[in-house]
C-alpha cells in the first residue's frame, strides 16, 4: 500500500511544537544576569563564528536587545537559525565556566534567540551593505549556510554578490532539512530576506552545469565561491532499494517543510537506516507525524553512532526504537510496495561491520528512510571546474586559512569542503572565504584588473544571459504553495 498522511492538522501542530519556548523578557534578564562575563571567555572560543557572547549577554541585562543582536549578527549572519539548531551543549554552552562550578551553563542559545527574534519582530536591520560597491563581482554557488555567510560578508565589504541555487528559495538545509520542531523554515527565509537587503542578488531554479556554465561564471565574475553542500543519499546497494517507499531521509524532511503537516505521507512502520543527526531528525518526526513504530537500524553499536547523546535521548523519549549491530540486506516488496526489510546481525570488524551468517530475519516496514550519508560532489565539481584538485577522500582541496582552491579565483566552504559539519561551521567557512576573496581581489585592485588568463579561463568565453534576479518573497510564496 502507498503510504498516507496519518494525523490531523491540530495534532500535527501540537506534536511539532518547539521543545523550548522562547524566553520572556524577564526570564531573559534573569538568565543573562547569571553570566560571569568571563575574560577570555571559553564560550567565545567554542563558537566557530567567534560571537562575542559575554558582550551580547551583557547588553541583554540592560534591555539593549538591538545592540545584542548586532553583536551576534556581525559575527554570524545566521545567528537566528544557529540559536535554534546549533548543538550548543557541544559548543558554547559545553564550554561555559558555570559547568566547572557545578552549575547549569548559561543558556546561550536561548538568549541569542531572544535578541535576534527581537530585531526580526520589530523589523530593525542591524547590518548594512556597503554604501558603495567596489565594482567587483562574485558568484556564490549554493544559497545554504556557507553561501549565505559568504554573500553577506562580501556585500558588507562592497562586492556585488550573486547567489545561484537550484531550489525555489534560499537557506539550503536551514529552509529544507532541519527538524520542523527545531526551527520553522520561515526563520531561515527571513534571514535570506535580510541578506537580500544587504544588496545580495539571488537567482533560484538555476543548476550549475545545466542552466549556467562554470566557464561563464568564471568569465563574468572576479571570483566564484562553491557552497553547494553534499549530493543525494548514498546508495544502499541492496535489492529493492528503488521501490517508491525507500526515500532519502532529507527528502522526507523536505516534504515536512514544503507541505501542510497533515498532508505529509508517513508509514505506520518506519525504518530509518543510519544513526547520525539526520536519522534522529527523521525518526522523531516520523513518530510525531503518527507512525506507530519508528526504528533506527544501525550496523554498529550505540557507542559508534554519530548522533549526539542528547539527540539519542530525544529520539527515545519520542518513542523511537533502536536496532544496533543490524543491517538491511534486502527491501521486501509486495505488489510493488515496501512491506518489510530483511535484516541481519553484524559483527564489528576493523574496517566495516560484517554480516553474521544465519542471522537474517524479515521485519515489517512500509517506509524506509535512508540516512546513511550523502554523496560528495567533488567528482562533479572536478568535471565542472577543470583543474580543481580533489583529495583521496573525494573532497575539494583548499587552503584552510582562506578557503581558496587550486584554482586561484575559486573558493569553497561548508559541506562541499568539509564533507558535512554543523550549520555554524558552514557560516564560518563562508565568511572566511569572503575574507579570502577580499584579500585576493583587494590585492589585485592594486595591480590592475584581473585578466581572464588569471582566472584559468581562455579569453572570449561566452556570456551567460541570466534572467533578472528573482526576489525572495516571490519564492516564499512558491515554497508555501509547494
Ligand atoms: Fe558567561 Fe559562561 Fe561565557 Fe563565562 S563562559 S562569559 S559564564 S556564558
CA of 76 to the centre of ligand 1 (A): 18
Give the separation between CA 219 and CA 223, rounded to whole angstroms. Answer: 9
Which residue's CA is the nearest one to ligand 1's atom 5?
A: 96
Q: Which of 52, 83, 96 to mutate to test the pocket of ligand 1 (most atoms within 8 A of CB)?
A: 96
| Residue among 154, 171, 329, 173 nearest 240 (CA) | 329
| Statement to judge: residues 403 and 356 lie in one domain | no
- Whether the CB-CB separation of 88 and 109 falls below 8 Å is answered with yes
Residue 29 Cα to ligand 1 midpoint, Å, equals: 15
C-alpha of residue 43 to centroid of ligand 1, in Å: 6
CA of 223 to the centre of ligand 1 (A): 39
Find the 35 Cα to ligand 1 centroid distance in Å: 5
Distance, CA 427 to ligand 1 centroid (Å)?
Answer: 22
pLDDT confidence of 418, banded at 50, 70, 90?
confident
* Number of domains forming the structure of the chain: 3
Based on the fold, state whether residues 460 and 425 are members of the same structural domain: no
The number of CA neighbours under 13 Å toward the Cβ of 173 is 31
The residue nearest atom 3 of ligand 1, judged by CA position, is 43
Higher-pLDDT residue of 142 and 19 is 142
Answer whether residue 147 shows pLDDT above 60: yes
Which ligand 1 atom is at minimum distance from the Cα of 42?
A: 5
Task: State which ligand 1 atom lies nearest to the alpha carbon of 106.
Answer: 8
Same-domain status, 276 and 357: yes
Q: Is residue 10 part of a domain?
A: no
Which of 357-384 are b and which e, b meaning 16 or more Cβ less than 10 Å from the residue's Cβ? eeeeeebebbbbbbbbebebbbeebeeb
For residue 231, the model assigns a pLDDT of 75
Query: Quick one: pLDDT band at residue 446, thresholds 50, 70, 90?
Result: low
pLDDT at residue 453 greater than cutoff 60:
no
Integer CA distances (angstroms), 86 to 172, 217, 259, 337, in order: 16, 33, 25, 37
Looking at the fold, whether 295 and 345 belong to one and the same domain comes out as yes
Instruction: Look at residue 324 and tell me if it is in a domain.
Output: yes
Asked whether the CA dihedral 31, 178, 479, 267 is positive or negative, the reply is negative
Judging by beta carbons within 10 Å of its beta carbon (0-12, 13-18, 19+), is residue 322 exposed, middle or buried? middle
Query: 206 and 284, same structural domain?
Result: no
Domain boundary among 331, 352, 370: 370
Q: Which atom of ligand 1 is nearest to the CA of 54?
A: 6
322-371 confidence digits (pLDDT tens): 999 999 999 999 999 999 999 999 987 655 678 899 999 999 999 999 99
Tell me, in angstroms, the distance from the centre of ligand 1 to residue 111's CA: 12
Residue 111 in contact with ligand 1 by CB distance below 6 A: no
Q: Residue 105 CA: which ligand 1 atom is closest? A: 2
Residue 96 in contact with ligand 1 by CB distance below 6 A: yes
The answer to whether the beta carbons of residues 414 and 145 sit under 8 Å apart is yes
Q: How far apart are CA 273 and CA 286, in angstroms?
A: 13
Q: Domain containing 89 — which CATH number?
A: 1.10.1060.10
Q: pLDDT tens across 133-145, in order?
A: 999 999 999 999 9
Q: How far apart are CA 26 and CA 430, in angstroms?
A: 35
Report the pLDDT value the prediction gives residue 324, as an integer from 0 to 100. 94
Looking at the chain, the whole-number percentage of residues with pLDDT higher than 70 is 90
Residue-level pLDDT at 460: 30
Residue after which a domain boundary falls, among 370, 398, 419: 370
**Long-range contacts at 400-407 (CB < 8 A, ≥ 24 apart):** 401/432, 401/436, 402/432, 402/433, 402/435, 402/436, 402/439, 402/440, 403/429, 403/432, 403/433, 403/436, 404/433, 404/436, 404/440, 405/226, 407/456
Whether ligand 1 lies within 6 angstroms of the CB of 54 is answered as yes
Task: Tell me if 21 is assigned to some domain.
Answer: no
Nine-digit cell string for 353: 561491520
- pLDDT band of 188, cuts 50, 70, 90: very high
pTM greater than the 0.85 cutoff: yes
Q: What is the pLDDT of residue 134?
A: 94
Asked whether residue 363 is domain-assigned, the answer is: yes
Instruction: Evaluate: CB of 343 within 6 angstroms of ligand 1.
Output: no
- Mind listing the pLDDT tens digit for each residue in 253-281? 999 999 999 999 999 999 999 999 899 99
Query: Is the CB of 390 within 6 Å of ligand 1?
Result: no
**Domain final residue pick, 370, 387, 415:** 370
CB of 98 closer than 6 A to ligand 1?
yes
Q: Are 395 and 377 in contact (CB under 8 A)?
A: no
CB 273 within 8 A of CB 371: yes
Tell me the CATH number at 225. 3.50.50.60
Indicate whether 297 belongs to any domain. Answer: yes
Confidence of residue 443 (pLDDT cuts 50, 70, 90): confident
Is the model's pLDDT at 430 over the cut of 70?
Answer: yes
Ligand 1, atom 1, lies closest to the CA of 35
Q: Is residue 55 located within the same domain as residue 151?
A: no
Select, from the ranges 385-389, 418-422, 467-471, the one with the highest average predicted confidence (pLDDT). Answer: 385-389
Q: What is the pLDDT of residue 459?
A: 31
* Structural domain contains residue 15: no
What are the grid coordinates assigned to 444, written together? 589585485
- Please state, in angstroms and rounded to a whole number, the distance separating the CA atoms of residues 56 and 330: 53
pLDDT score recorded for residue 449: 41
42 lines ligand 1 (CB under 6 A): yes
Q: What is the pLDDT of residue 344?
A: 95
Going from the C-alpha of 52 to that of each of 74, 85, 191, 305, the distances in angstroms are 10, 19, 20, 32
Between the CA of residue 312 and those of 92, 198, 271, 302, 389, what are the distances in Å? 20, 39, 16, 9, 37
CB atoms within 10 A of CB 5: 17
The candidate with the shortest Cα–Cα distance to 147, out of 423, 377, 430, is 430
- Identify whether residues 103 and 120 lie together within a single domain: yes
| Same domain (yes/no): 250, 364 | yes
Distance between first and last Cα of the chain: 24
Substitution site in 43, 92, 100, 102 for ligand 1 pocket (most atoms within 8 Å of beta carbon): 43
- Judge whether 239 lies within some domain: no
pLDDT of res. 454:
34
Distance 315 CA to ligand 1 centre (A): 29
Same domain, yes or no: 391 and 362: no
- Mean pLDDT, range 376-400, rounded to an integer: 83
| Residue 40 within any structural domain of the chain | yes
Same structural domain, 289 and 344: yes
* DSSP collapsed to 3 states, 333-355: EECCEEEEEEEEEEECCCCCCEE
**27 CA to middle of ligand 1, Å?**
17
Mutate to test the pocket of ligand 1, among 54, 83, 105 (most ligand atoms within 8 A of CB): 54
What is the C-alpha to C-alpha distance for residues 385 and 481, in angstroms, rounded to an integer?
35
Q: Is 401 exposed, middle or buried (0-12, 13-18, 19+ CB in 10 A)?
A: exposed
Average pLDDT value for the chain? 89
Atom 2 of ligand 1: nearest residue by CA position: 96
Taking CA atoms only, the protein residue closest to ligand 1 atom 4 is: 38
* Ligand 1 center–CA 85 separation, angstroms: 20
Please check whether residues 304 and 356 belong to one and the same domain: yes
Quick: pLDDT tens for 461-478.
222 223 333 334 444 554
3 state SS of 31: helix
Host domain of residue 284: 246-370
How far apart (Å, rounded) are the C-alpha atoms in residues 287 and 438?
A: 47
Q: What are phi and psi of 182, to 5 degrees?
A: -85, -40
Please tell me whether residues 185 and 291 are part of one structural domain: no
Predicted confidence (pLDDT) per residue in 58-75, tens digit: 999 999 999 999 999 999
Using an 8 Å Cβ cutoff, are 432 and 403 in contact? Answer: yes
Amino acid at each position: 500500500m502507498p503510504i498516507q498522511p496519518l494525523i490531523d492538522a491540530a495534532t500535527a501542530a501540537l506534536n511539532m511544537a518547539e521543545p523550548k519556548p522562547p524566553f520572556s523578557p524577564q526570564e531573559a534578564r534573569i538568565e543573562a544576569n547569571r553570566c560571569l562575563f568571563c575574560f577570555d571567555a571559553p564560550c567565545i572560543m567554542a563558537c566557530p563564528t567567534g560571537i562575542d557572547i559575554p558582550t551580547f549577554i551583557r547588553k541583554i541585562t540592560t534591555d539593549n536587545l538591538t545592540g545584542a543582536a548586532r553583536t551576534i549578527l556581525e559575527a554570524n549572519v545566521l545567528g537566528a537559525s544557529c540559536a535554534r539548531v546549533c548543538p550548543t551543549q557541544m559548543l558554547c554552552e559545553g564550554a561555559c565556566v558555570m559547568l566547572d562550578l557545578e552549575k547549569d551553563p548559561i543558556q546561550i542559545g536561548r538568549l541569542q534567540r531572544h535578541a535576534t527574534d527581537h530585531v526580526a519582530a520589530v523589523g530593525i536591520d542591524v547590518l548594512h551593505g556597503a554604501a558603495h560597491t567596489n565594482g567587483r563581482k562574485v558568484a556564490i554557488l549554493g544559497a545554504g549556510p556557507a553561501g549565505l555567510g559568504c554573500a553577506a560578508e562580501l556585500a558588507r565589504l562592497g562586492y556585488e554578490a550573486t547567489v545561484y541555487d537550484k531550489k525555489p528559495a534560499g537557506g539550503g538545509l536551514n529552509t529544507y532539512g532541519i527538524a520542523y520542531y527545531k526551527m520553522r523554515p520561515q526563520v531561515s527565509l527571513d534571514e535570506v530576506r535580510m541578506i537580500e537587503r544587504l544588496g545580495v542578488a539571488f537567482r533560484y531554479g538555476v543548476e550549475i552545469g545545466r542552466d549556467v556554465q562554470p566557464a561563464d561564471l568564471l568569465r563574468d565574475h572576479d571570483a566564484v565561491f562553491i557552497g553547494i553542500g553534499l549530493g543525494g543519499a548514498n546508495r544502499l546497494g541492496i535489492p529493492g532499494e528503488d521501490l517508491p517507499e525507500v526515500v532519502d531521509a532529507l527528502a522526507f524532511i523536505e516534504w515536512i517543510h514544503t507541505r501542510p503537516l497533515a498532508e505529509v505521507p508517513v508509514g505506520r512502520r518506519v525504518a530509518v537506516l543510519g544513526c547520525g543527526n539526520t536519522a534522529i531528525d527523521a525518526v522523531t518526526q516520523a513518530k510525531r507525524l503518527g507512525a506507530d513504530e519508528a526504528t533506527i537500524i544501525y550496523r554498529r553499536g550505540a557507542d559508534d553512532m554519530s548522533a549526539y547523546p542528547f539527540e539519542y535521548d530525544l529520539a527515545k523519549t519520542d518513542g523511537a526504537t533502536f536496532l544496533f549491530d543490524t543491517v538491511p540486506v534486502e527491501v521486501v516488496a509486495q505488489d510493488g510496495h515496501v512491506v518489510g526489510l530483511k535484516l541481519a546481525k553484524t559483527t564489528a570488524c576493523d574496517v566495516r561491520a560484517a554480516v553474521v551468517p544465519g542471522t537474517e530475519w524479515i521485519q515489517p516496514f512500509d517506509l524506509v528512510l535512508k540516512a546513511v550519508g550523502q554523496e560528495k560532489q567533488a567528482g562533479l565539481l572536478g568535471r565542472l571546474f577543470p583543474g580543481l584538485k580533489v583529495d583521496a577522500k573525494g573532497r575539494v582541496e583548499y587552503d584552510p586559512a582562506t578557503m581558496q582552491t587550486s584554482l586561484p579565483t575559486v573558493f569553497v566552504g561548508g559541506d562541499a569542503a568539509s564533507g558535512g559539519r554543523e550549520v555554524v561551521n558552514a557560516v564560518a567557512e563562508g565568511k572566511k572565504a569572503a575574507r579570502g576573496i577580499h584579500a585576493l581581489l583587494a590585492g589585485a585592485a592594486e595591480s590592475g584588473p584581473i585578466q581572464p588568463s588569471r582566472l584559468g579561463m581562455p579569453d572570449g568565453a561566452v556570456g551567460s544571459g541570466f534572467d533578472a534576479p528573482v526576489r525572495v518573497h516571490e519564492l516564499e510564496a512558491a515554497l508555501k504553495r509547494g
